[in-house]
Every structure is written in C-alpha cells, then in structure tokens.
Amino acid sequence: MPSLVVIGAQWGDEGKGKIVDYLAPKAEWVVRFQGGNNAGHTIVAGGVTTKLNLIPSGVLRPDTRCLIAAGVVIDPEVFAAETAKLREAGLDLSPRRLVVDRDAHLVLEYHRLIDAAREEARGANRIGTTGRGIGPAYEDRANRSGVRVAELEALGQLRPRLEELVAERNVYLQAVLRSEFSVDFENVWRAVCKAAELLLPHIGNGSLILDRALRRGERVLFEGAQGSLLDQVHGTFPYVTSSHTISGGVATGCGIGPKHMGHVLGIAKAYSTRVGLGPFPTELHDQLGHRIREAGVEYGTVTGRPRRCGWFDAVGMRRAIRLNGIDSLALTKLDVLSGLSSIKVCTSYRLDGNVLEDVPSLSQDLERVEAEYLELPGWSSDLKDVRSWGQLPVELKAYLEKLSEILECPISIISVGADRQATFVAESASEILAFIR
C-alpha cells in the first residue's frame, strides 16, 4: 500500500511533525485531514527550527506536494502569515505545491471571538481550548452555516448570507455570552475578500487528486494533528478537540475510501503529556514531572502553555491502538528519560477496587482511577548519537521490548532527539522502509 497514516496516539504533541518530515522525502503528497491552526508541529532540520500550524509537515521536502484537505478548518489570516514566513525562508509554496480543498471551511473573526467568550463564560468548567476559533468553525460546519473555500469563488452570493450570519453571531456574543466584543461586518468582509485572493489560486478537489494519486501508486502520507485521546467522539470527552483525530478521520476528512489507507503509524512519547485541562491518571505533580517538562521542553507550540507531564500510560495507548488500527508505533523523546534510575509504565487502572478493561467514559471516573505501574530499570547514557537499534543501551532495549509486549504492537521507529537525523527505523518495519527508500 503506498499510503501511510501518521496519528498522534496520546493527547497530542507526540512529535508527529518531526516524524512526518522524516518520512516525507519520497512521498508525493503530505495531507492534513483535520483540525486547524490549533495544531503546532515543530521540525528541526540541520539546526534550523520550523514551526507549522496549518501547512502540512511535508513542506520542507522539496519534491513533496502538500494538501490541506476538506476536513481541515482554515483561518485565512494564519494561512497568509504562515505561507509568507515559509516563503521568506525560501520554500516553494506555489499553487502546484500547496493545494487547498474547495470543501474546507473557513475560520473567521466571529469564531475566534465566540471561542474566547465561551471559555470565559465557562469559568472553572472551561475546556482549555487554544482559543483559535476552531471549535466554533466546526460547529458552523455541523449546523450548515459555515463558509467554505469554494464560496470564495462566488463572493456576490456569499455577501448577503454572511451579513445575516454576522448579525446573528453578534446577538449570540452579546446577549448569550455577555461578551464586550462584537464583530464589524465590513471587517469580516475585507478579510473574506483577502482570503479569496490568497486561497483561490490554491483551490483544488482533494478527493479527486488523492484518488488519482493513490490509483497511480503514488506515495501519500496522511498527517494527523492533536492526538487520539482528544478525538471528538472517542477521546476523553468533554476535554477533547472538535475534529476526528483518529485514522477514520482520514477517509471522512479527505473524501477517499478507507481501502486507500495503508500502514497506520501511531506516534507516542516515551512518557505522557497533556496541555489544557482534563483527567490525566499518570500525571506527575512532583519534581520528576518538572524535570521531564524541562528536559523535554514541554511547552505548547501554539499557546506556550506548560504541558502537564506524567508516566507512559499503556491503558490509554491500548485504546489508541484499537481506535486507529495502529500497525506500529514510533516512540519519541526517549532521550528525555535518560538518567532516570527507573522508568514506570502504567499497565492498568483500578476504580473502586476493580481493574478496568478500558479508559472509562465519564471524566469524573477517569479523574478517580488509580494507575498501577510496572517499574523498569532506566538507562544513563546519552542517546544523542544513537542511530541504530544495536547502539541502544541494554536497559532501553529491554524497556522497548517490554512496552511492545504489553501493548501487543511493534515499535517501528525510534526518536532520540529533536533533529531529523536523530531517528531510525527498525529493520523489521518493512512497510515503513519501503515508503522511505
């Protein structure tokens, strides 16, 4: 199968951007299929750091084309700023190289304002969203009032509809959310006209493009954003994102059949992090949590918020493996754990004396579970220059073998540093090797 699906297997920030960039040089297409600029991917190549929010992580590979599929919500102002920055860095972002699906929805000013006002109104019950308007834009898609990229081709028809929409959203902002802000229609209109100028040269039919590419046998890499446990339906509701982050989201987000999905690669850190609110059974509130945060530079790419850190959670991971049909895992940030005398892995949850088979549905239950751990010996050596399985310290090899056994899932890729080079693929991972060679 010429396609590879890369999915975050935890609560996001697993290092997907780095792994996608690593896997992309031979890919004809790298495709974002869900989310918006609430995603933040960091890629380090040759000492240069690139941060991406909306543009697929294949952009650094000159022979790879990028598609923002229909399932993504696009903030045109972010698109403008991000593409300008990447062009300044010398990258080709011509319409041939960067295609935007005509059915993708737009994030507009009122979405951002509603997002912020709603979080404010929730007070102590807030979700901890990135405040980028992503949730409200998906809501508008579901309630059939969203604005799609294709509508930028018929601005005359869009204007009266948008006028009504803005008036209605202002009532909601002020009368319901008691916001001090309202939206000026002419401002929104100016932004929409600018968006038309910017996006229309890139417009395409993603479903057709991908179907043709896949039938021709071209290599396509689908790049997930956020993580499986943040999936709109299957994540730790209500502390979830507003899109389908799991592999099923590829088919709905791109408009292609599931038979086109090849190897599903789950990306996981060797520990857990969570940004924003929500239950986190293996969270470390002590000095060790702090040490992991500092060593792993666990601060949000989008918001700069410190990420909460904890031990690897095999219960959540088994769920992610099932939700996505993960074929193998890429384990990142192993270097961050170097120097710890022992490493813990949560193997089960106990609630009111009972061992649970899966992550509970109610957040108040997940809040109360007791994590049960397996403790394994740590390793002390620096992993900076490790580039093969054979060079790994014995304790680390034993840790990886145990993890794979607990999860009943092979580990195909190892990442021991932020740089593109600090990565290697297991010789047994034939589907992944075939994709990159």
Site residues, ligand GDP (CB under 6 A): 8, 12-18, 40-42, 44, 296, 301, 332-333, 335-336, 415-418
Smallest distance from the beta carbon of 34 to ligand GDP, in angstroms?
Answer: 13
**Residue owning tokens 């294949």:** 58
Closest CA to 392 of 347, 331, 433: 331
Our answer to whether residue 234 is catalytic in this structure is: no
Closer by beta carbon to ligand GDP, 13 or else 28: 13
- Asked if 102 and 204 touch (Cβ cutoff 8 Å), the reply is yes
Report in angstroms how near the CB of residue 310 gets to ligand GDP at its nearest: 16
144-158 b/e (C-beta count within 10 Å ≥ 16 → b) = eebbbbebbeeeeeb
Residue with Cβ nearer ligand GDP (121 or 297): 297
Q: Which residue is it, tokens 């021709």?
A: 216
What is the nearest approach in angstroms of ligand GDP to the Cβ of residue 418? Answer: 4
Q: Whole-angstrom Cα distance, residue 36 to residue 339? A: 37
**Residues 15, 52 contacting (CB under 8 angstroms):** no
Which residue of the set 21, 41, 231, 327 is catalytic?
A: 41
Nearest distance, CB of residue 275 and ligand GDP, angstroms: 9
Q: How far is the CB of 277 from ligand GDP (least distance, A)?
A: 18
Report the residue number, 16 or 319, with the smaller CB distance to ligand GDP: 16
Nearer Cβ to ligand GDP, position 334 or 345?
Answer: 334
- Considering all CA atoms of the chain, what is the largest pairwise distance in Å, rounded to the nearest integer? 67
> Shortest Cβ distance from residue 20 to ligand GDP (Å)?
8
CB of 419 to ligand GDP, least distance (A): 8
Q: Please, which residue, 137 or 416, has the CB nearer to ligand GDP?
A: 416
Is 41 an annotated catalytic residue? yes
Catalytic residue from among 13, 140, 231, 327: 13
How many whole angstroms separate alpha carbon 433 and alpha carbon 29?
17
Nearer to ligand GDP, 8 or 204 (CB): 8
Q: Which is nearer to ligand GDP, 15 or 146 (CB)?
A: 15
Residues labelled catalytic: 13, 41
